[in-house]
Structures are given as C-alpha cells and as structure tokens.
Chains A and B, each alone.
Chain A
Amino acid sequence: MQSLTNRAKPVDRRPMNFMERMYLPAVLKGMSITFSHMFKKAPTVRYPDETRPFSPVFRGLHVLNRDEEGRERCTACGLCAVACPAEAITMEAAERKQGEENLYREEKYAAKYEINMLRCIFCGLCEEACPKDAIYLSETFAPSNFARKGFIYGKKDLLIPDPKTEAADLAKAKGTN
C-alpha cells in the first residue's frame, strides 16, 4: 500500500542484541531527557495566582456594558436573545421614567436580563447581534460553583461597574489598576 506521506519508516524487526537486552542505555537516554527538562522553562503557569494572556478573540463570560456616563447601554431590544443559538438569554423590557436618564441610555431598558451560562456555548453571536454595543464576551470564564443556580447570571452579575461611581472596581475588573 502506498503511504500517504513519505515519512513512513519500515519497522525494524531484527531480534535485539545483548546490549539492547540489558536496556541500560535506553534507560539512561530516557533519564537524560527527563533531567534536561529541569533546566528548561516550565510551560505551565501557577494558576490561579498567575494567568495566561488570552487570544484577542477569546470568548468568555459576558458583560453588560455602560457608556462613559455610566448609563446602561442595553435597551432590551431582544436581538441578542433571538440570535442566541442556545436560547440562553431572556429579558424583560421596561420604560425609562423621568429622572432615570442618568441610569439608562435609551428610553427602554432591560428590567431583567438573564443568561443561563450552563446553556451558553460562548459562540459570541449575542455580541455580534447587539446594535447598542451593550453586550460583550469578556476574557474570563465562569468560575466553578456548587449549585447550578449560580450559573444563572442576572443583571447584577453581568453589568460592569459604573465608571463614575465605581471607577476603582471597574479598573480592577479591567485589570488596568
């Protein structure tokens, strides 16, 4: 049979000679590879104290964005939910009342916004669908949890800290402090 690549080597089926049957050189050879690694740089990091940089296209946990003035950007249009292939997003819209202009950017906002992280496949379609730059997939992933309930993310889990009143928190979340 013709091989697919030209890297195939015929198997050597000669019986082993005496030296080979002692296995000592082979063992030493193996040990030398093992010991040589002690002097090389470790490929693992000390997670969670240390983390690796993510690829710029990594899709992790969602955040709901605010604008520069700290107003929620989401207008509860439902486009993310309709785009979601896992049907993992649900929301309820509410009308912004007078005096709430500093809280919500648009006339309508999400009174309730929930993502079922157990269902989410982190495809990022919600981010792509959002016309208001309101939802982003961040560079963190869902921490482990003892209860499944903990994976239902509501607004309070998703909204980023307010840049005006919680600037420090925001910086911390962004990792820029």
Chain B
Amino acid sequence: MTIYIDNKPYEAKAGKNLLEACLAAGINLPYFCWHPSLGSVGACRQCAVKVFKDEKDTQGRLVMSCMEGVRDGVRIGVEEATAKAFREQVIEWMMTNHPHDCPVCDEGGSCHLQDMTVMTGHDYRRYHYKKRTYKNQYLGPLINHEMNRCIQCYRCVRYYHDYAGGDDLNVFAAHNHVYFGRDKDGVLQSPFSGNLAEVCPTGVFTDKTLKEHYTRKWDLTMAPSVCTHCSVGCNITAGERYGKLRCVVNRYNEEVNGYFLCDRGRFGYEFVNSENRVTQPLIRGRMSEAVSEEELMHELSVLLSQQKLVGIGSARASLESNFALRQLVGAGNFYAGISETEAYLTRLIVQVMQEGTLHSASLKDIEQADAVIVLGEDVWNTAPMMALAVRQAAMKTAANNAAAQLSLPAWHDAAIKELVQTDKGFLANITVAGSPIDNIAQVTVHAVPDDIARLGFAVAHELSNTLPALANADEKLLQTARQIAAALQQSKHPVIVSGLSCVNSAVIRAAFDIAAALNNTHWKASVAYVLPECNSMGLALMQAPSAERIFDSSNANDMTALILENDLYRYLPQATADAFFSRCSNVIALDSIHNNTTEKAQVLIPAATFAEADGSMVNYEGRTQHYYKVFIPKEGHIKESFHWLNSMRIAKNNRSNGHGLSLDELLHEAEIEMPVFEGVHDAMLSPHYSIHGEHIPREPHRYSGRTAMYANLNVSEQKPLQEEGESAFGFTMEGFKGQPPADAAPFFWSPGWNSGQSVTKYQQEPGGAFKGHIPAVQLFHDKVDKAPVFFKDIPEAFVARKQKWLVLPQYHVLASGELSSYTKALASLLPEACVVLSETDAALLGVRDGDKIRVHPGTTALPVKVHLSLANGVVLISAGLPGTEVYNWGDWVKIEKE
C-alpha cells in the first residue's frame, strides 16, 4: 500500500505501524519505547507525527506514530512544525532529570538517547534546578546499574520480564520517581540479562565487563564474528583496542539470534585476554622450552615424518582448521576429538538431517512455531538462545490467537498482553530434570531418557497409526502422548527440539518420528537437534571416527598425535584420555589456552581464538557462518590453526618452495574433497572483495589516537596491521566510507545513528531481513517427495537397577561450552559441581543434601543435591564446569557414600 510522508509517496507493508513504516522508508523519526522485538506501548511520547484526514486537511492531529497502523493512502507529516516542536519538548522533559554525564557514561558514543536528542534538535538545557536522583543497585558482575540516567521508556522491564521471562527485575514506585531494578541488590538471575545493555536506550544498564577496560565504540577495531560458545552460532560483533578484546555485542541476524544474545555469548569473550593463553611455541623437555618458529618447524618436520601420525579434530575449531588437519594427516588418520557415544549420536543426527525429509529449524522458525515439543533436550542450558526462541513461540502463538480474535495488529503489545493474560501457545517440555521453561509449558514431563523416547514414539504413533504402538505402556504416558498429538495436529508450524542432552539415540529417533509423522503434502515439519559445541555439526559432517576408535586399530602404539584445539579431558573420561596419551610417543597440541591436554603435549603451538582468526562454523541447523579476524595479536606467534597446519603440510611434503593455501583456496579444496560442504565458501566475503577498490574498514571513521597509541613504544607511526594474503577488511579507519554489505558489516553505524539501533538502516524494514542479497549457506536441503524412513525400534521402559545408576551430564547455562568458563565474570557465577539424585535414591544411599559421594568409575567426591522430581535410578552430574570430571555419559555407574 502507499502512504504519504510529508507529501511524498512511499510503499508500506500492511500490518505495520507508522513508525515502522517511516523507519523502513529511511526517515529519521526519533523513538524510545518501541523496539522491533518488543512492539509498541506508546509510553515515551517521542515518536509524534501529524496525521491528516486527506489532502485538504492542513490542521491534522498529533498521534504517536508507533501506536497507529498504516492505512492505504494515509498522509502523515514528520517534518510538521507542531510535530517537531512536540518531539523536541518531549526530549526536553526527559532531559530535565537526565544527568549531564555523557563524558562519564559508558553508553556515550553509542547511545540512542544521545542520537535522538540530536535528532530532535534539542541542544540547550533550560532547566537549572535540582534533578531527581536514585540509589543504584548491585546487579552482579555482568550488568552495571546507574538509575539516574533513566528516561522511563519501560523497555528494560518489557524485555526482561515479558520477553525473556525473568522475574527479578521490575518497575517500582510512581510519578516522576519510577524505579527500574530489583527489589533488593543482587545478581540478575536471567541468563539473558546482558541484552539489557542494548535494549535500554540510555546508560542505565551497561556492560560491566567492558568497564574493566572501557573503550568507546568509536575507538574499537571491530569485525563480524560468530559466537563460539554453543551450537546455535549467534552472530556477534567483537571489538578490540590495544590488543585486548574489549566487548561483544549483538550482530543482528534475522534467522538466527535477531536482536539478542545470551550472557554466555556476550560476556564469555574474556578468555581471549586470559593470562593462561598459549603465546609461544613450546617444545617441552628442552633447556629453554620456548622456541622460535624455525626451531619449531624443524622439530615438527621430524615428528611429522613418523609413521603413525594421527590427527584429532575439534568440535570448537573452524571447518578450515579441521580440514587442514585432515589433509595433513590423511583422511584415514583423522579422528574427531569427542567420545564414541557423542560421535555415534551426532552421526545419527547428520544422517537424519541429510535425508531431507524434515526441515531444519532455524531460531526464527522456532520463534514462529505454533507448537513446540522439546524432547529430552535441556535447551536452557545447552543452547540458551534456543530456549529464548521456544519461549517466544509460546508467547507469540497466544498473542497471535488473541490478535486474530479482535483483529489487533501484531505490534500492539500492550493491548495484546491485556487480552492474552496468562495464555500460552502449546509447549511440551519433556526433560530429565526440568528446566526454567517448564513454567510456560502446557505439558511438562520429567522422565529418564528411555521413557522420554517412549513418550516420543507414543506421540508418533498417535499421529500416524502405521507406526508401532508401545508395548505395555502405562495409561498416564499414553494420555500425555494423546494430549501432545492432539495439539500437534491442530498446529500449522510445529517444531520438534531435541539433542544430545539425554545421551540417548532413541530420543533422537523418536524426535524424528514425531516430526516425520507430522509431514504432510504441503509442508515439512521442522526439527532442531542441539549439539554440544559451536562446530560440532561441521566436524560431524566430516564423518571422522571418534578418538576412542583409535584403540580399535591393532597397532595403536607409539603414535604421534596432533591434537587440534581440544581438551580431550573434557570429552573423554580421564581413564580413556590417559590411556590414549600413554599410547602416544609424541603429542603435538595446537591450542589457545593451557588445559589438561596441552599439559601432555611435547610440542605446543599457540593457536588463535575466534577473535584473532578467520574461519567457518556449521551450527546445529547446518547453517555455515563465517567469522572474521578482529585483530592480530601482538604476540606474533599466535596464528590460526589452519595456518600452522598448512605450514606443517608443506614441511611434511618437503615442498621447500610451496606456498600455504589461503582461506578460500582451503575451502575450495574442502568442497572438492567432501561434497557435503558444497557452497560453504559462499558464507564468507571473498578475500578479494572490495568496493571501488577499497577495503571495508574495521575501525569507525572517528577512531582516535592513531599517531599516539603506540608512540610510547616507537615514535615512528606503526605500519597498519596487515593480514597474510588478502582480506576484504582493513585494520585501519581508511577504506570504503559507505554502508558495507549488511551481513559483513564490522559494526553498525549510520549518520546520526551511533548506537546499535542503527541496524535499522541496514534492514529492509525494522526487524526484517537485511538489504541486498545475503547468501544463506544451508548444508541440509529439504527434499521434495522424499518419504521418511521411520524408526521402529522402541526401547523398553526404564527399570532402575540395583546399586547402579544411569549417569547423565547436567550442564550449566553459562558454561556448557568449554571456553566461556575461562572468563572471570562468568566463572564467578558458576555453581559448585554436584551430583543430583532422586529423593528415594538419596534415602537409599543414606545421604542428604551436601553429603559427599563418590561415583565409580571416577575420582572426585562430589556433594549431593536431592531433586524432587528426578526419576529413581538416574544421577545427574555437573558437567562442563571448570575442573569437573567426565563420565561415560549414558552408561551405568556405582555410587558410594564418602
């Protein structure tokens, strides 16, 4: 439809409000309380425009553009004198109580309030009286609180409470002293609290970890990157100055993380600056262990010529590095650094996804689902942003239903909330020990993995009676199955979420069966399988056997093992890992951080972290995403693993004048070698890419201090950093000054829009897709007319064994990935490791909360935590926390009281 803004015609989408239409048309209209993900409430009164009845109407009426829907032919005036004066006045009111502290404020330079104030033209303060002041609260190590800066837009509460489901942040008091905070000082409980820093348009909530090494946005060197802390692969922008990674902020991606990140992703970056980094090549057992690169390469060329060379790939290293390792050691000697169980389960998932009978669900698909079944996966802890998406599915379905009733537009948040009250869309959360999303689920089941799978198969049977029914099932289970099946049958876009949490293949199979049974001729049901690490899927697609399989080969002795960015002690039980190392005569490890595995290495090679590297990763849904170097570390020895591996390949093949493969050459080679990866190079901006012959600068054009930053070290201005080979990005502020391609924008900025909200200028419409063609590199393709091959082997009902327990991992939301726990702020929030037992089992063993028990096989004694709804016969043991032991997950263990 056409709308007229200041008498000019613009195309607008139906169902949007006027503010969205104006922003989509590229018009600068100030706003505060509206947010593309939160909708409108009309609280701030900043977005006023005039609406005219018709062409002849010159008077018009003042409306809040965020509260008025677009109508065909509607005429609005943004530049109208009254509207402008009104907007300027609103800002002036807000400013009466806003402190004059931009210089001190962390938000300064990327502040929506600053931008909007300048946009309205309010530039001089007339209010010279006392300002209202508040006491600030301690909100934990992640978020800083400075309440005086608040402009009462209510975004924080609407985000934290309504959107993310947190219940410990709210609005208090009344009049002109409303207060946004907790009822008392304390750590914010939601693992999505970091988004407050971006949602709040002012400096009330800011990133506390950034405070430790504060840098303005304009002083950061930034690059588009991808979170490496779980298999969701949220898009991030990371910033560096003086060789230290300073912060991580959200990088909008419509299909993946939208406007948000979880706290693990946002605050888990500090391991890059850790003192525990490997910075020097080391050869152990020498007089001086730190060696030069020549000595290292010399030593390596001897080691690499050994007969029994094996390579251990990594689920947290890039596709390029894994592939380079595979090429170096040979496909037959390349193993995945994960347990056999995990390898088996991921292979099963890959097989299911590659069949193409199901659609691989993105987070956006999950958010838009009208029924979600979480089958056995502890999403909250293993893929936090997916849990947030599941929550949105439940909330939005209810909202859509309500909106349809009264034909309310989707953006009308306040009205819809009023109508919805506590209604939720259908969510069945079936887990071993419950999860925080239980409270929005219609069906919650806590059961052991086999029974979860049985419930899944029962649902599949209800959906399609060609599938086998459960033998001797109890009535309660069947009833639940019928309830879930009924809800699924009514839904139009159901999504089934599952994964590895249960360490049980039947659960994965059951999830497939449910989804496949829902398929019909019009659409494919969607499924999402959560994996443990950021590139688990990429590694799985390489089809390498697990590290445990090395023992199968008869001459697995005196091996020379090359271990890529992997702490084997995190994936294998200690005894297995020890056994592995005892069979190695030489261990070469490439890693960024010292850990138990690097301790065992005779040769240790410093690898770059995500911030210092280029690379591609495949997320849980098969989406390949590329991340770019933010900076080149000052410790000149740190290099991307694939660089090291390429040099080794040259050294090994004695190609004296051979040159290393560049990134895109490596990817092309991978695509030829392994056709599953076809097209992955599209995920990255070609290194030869330039705009009018210019790089995309990683630094904003206001970057300061260039001639002074390192002047204390050397007065001559330093040569700007230069990557080996070509790159689309430059390390300085020079280069292309216009808007870079949205998916490869090192940071979001637009004239007059300094804060992250400038992303609107890169989108076709607020909250929509990016402008321009963005290649989505999906490695799983929906295949039409492919009949699913159902799984029919249903496991027996679980029977608790005598004196034996089924052991399962219990991850923590801030630390299921390996690297985030090396971050100080997050580490301080991690709980103590414990063993969770059912009430009956605890009584049986004669233990109470806090008593120590020992698990066999295993070495450490752990405190007990009694769980009221956990099934008997299962123990959950904390996993992924620093120093926690790895058990044979999904196996049987003995327990003994200390």
A interface with B by C-beta (< 8 Å): 75-79, 81-82, 84, 86-95, 106-108, 114-116, 118-119, 131-132, 148-149, 151-152, 154
Contact = CB atoms under 8 A, between A and B. Distances in A.
Given A82-B702, A87-B705, A114 B711 contact: yes
A108 B704 contact: no
A152 B709 CA distance: 10
Contact of A154 (B103, B212, B712, B715): B712
A87 B708 contact: yes
Interface string B704-721: 111111011001000000
16 contacts: A77-B102, A77-B103, A78-B216, A78-B704, A81-B219, A87-B705, A89-B704, A90-B704, A93-B214, A95-B211, A95-B214, A108-B104, A116-B708, A119-B708, A152-B708, A152-B715
B104 A106 contact: yes
Contacts of B104: 75, 77, 106-108
A87 B702 contact: no
B731 to A, nearest CB: 15
A151 B708 CA distance: 11
Given A81-B705, A87-B708, A90-B708, A149 B103 contact: no
Contact of A90 (B214, B218, B709): B709
B194 interface: no
A88 B708 contact: yes
Interface string B487-507: 000000000000000000000
A142 B715 CA distance: 16
Contact of A106 (B103, B109, B711, B712): B103
A152 B214 contact: no
Contact of A115 (B211, B219, B708, B715): B708
B108 interface: yes
Contacts of A90: 704-705, 708-709, 711
Contacts of A107: 104
Contacts of B213: 92
Contacts of A115: 708
B245 to A, nearest CB: 15
Contacts of A95: 211-212, 214
Given A94-B214, A131-B103, 6 more contacts: A77-B108, A88-B708, A116-B715, A149-B715, A152-B715, A154-B712
Interface of B is mostly: loop
A16 B707 CA distance: 63
A108 B214 contact: yes
Contacts of A131: 102-103
Contacts of A93: 214-215
Contacts of A94: 214
B708 A75 contact: no
Interface string B678-708: 0000000000000000000000001011111
Contacts of B109: 78
Contacts of A108: 104, 214
Contacts of A81: 219, 704-705, 708
A95 B211 CA distance: 7
Contact of B704 (A75, A87, A132, A152): A87
B704 A82 contact: yes
B219 A78 contact: yes
Given A92-B242, A131-B102, A116 B216 contact: no
B622 to A, nearest CB: 43
Contact of B711 (A82, A132, A152): A152
A75 B103 contact: yes
A108 to B, nearest CB: 5
Contacts of A87: 704-708
B108 A119 contact: no
A132 B702 contact: no
A118 B715 contact: yes
A119 B214 contact: no
The 10 tightest CB contacts between A and B, nearest first, are: A90-B705, A77-B103, A81-B704, A148-B715, A90-B708, A87-B706, A116-B708, A93-B214, A116-B711, A119-B707
Contacts of A86: 707
Contacts of A154: 712
Question: Interface range on chain B: under 10, 10 to 19, 20 to 34, or 35 or more?
Answer: 20 to 34
B708 A89 contact: yes
B748 to A, nearest CB: 19
Contacts of A77: 102-104, 108
Contacts of A119: 707-708, 711
B200 to A, nearest CB: 18
A142 to B, nearest CB: 14
B707 A88 contact: yes
A98 B109 CA distance: 26
A103 to B, nearest CB: 15
Contacts of B211: 95
B100 to A, nearest CB: 8
Contact of B715 (A91, A132, A151): A151
A72 B849 CA distance: 53
B242 A82 contact: no
A107 B105 CA distance: 9
A65 B897 CA distance: 66
A112 B705 CA distance: 12
Contact of B712 (A78, A114, A132): A114
A91 B214 CA distance: 10
Nearest to A81: B704
Nearest to B702: A82
B461 to A, nearest CB: 61
B103 A82 contact: no
A136 to B, nearest CB: 16
B108 A116 contact: no
Contacts of B709: 90
Interface string B94-113: 00000000111000110000
B634 to A, nearest CB: 15
Nearest to A78: B216
Contact of A152 (B102, B705, B706, B712): B712
A76 B211 CA distance: 12
Contacts of B212: 95
A119 B704 CA distance: 13
A154 B212 CA distance: 21
Which of B108, B212, B214 gathers the greatest number of chain A CB atoms within 10 Å?
A: B214
A86 B717 CA distance: 12
A8 B102 CA distance: 61
B707 A116 contact: yes
A92 to B, nearest CB: 7
B136 to A, nearest CB: 11
Contacts of A89: 704-705, 708
A31 to B, nearest CB: 51
Nearest to A74: B103
A25 B694 CA distance: 72
A79 to B, nearest CB: 7
B705 A91 contact: yes
Interface in B173-229: 211-216, 218-219
A82 B218 contact: yes
Contacts of A76: 214
Interface in B719-776: none
Nearest to A96: B104
Contacts of A151: 715
A119 B214 CA distance: 25
Nearest to A105: B104
A119 B242 CA distance: 20
B880 to A, nearest CB: 31
A149 B713 CA distance: 8
Given A78-B216, A78-B219, A114-B712, A132 B707 contact: no
A131 B709 CA distance: 22
A90 B711 CA distance: 10
Contacts of A88: 705, 707-708
A108 B712 CA distance: 23
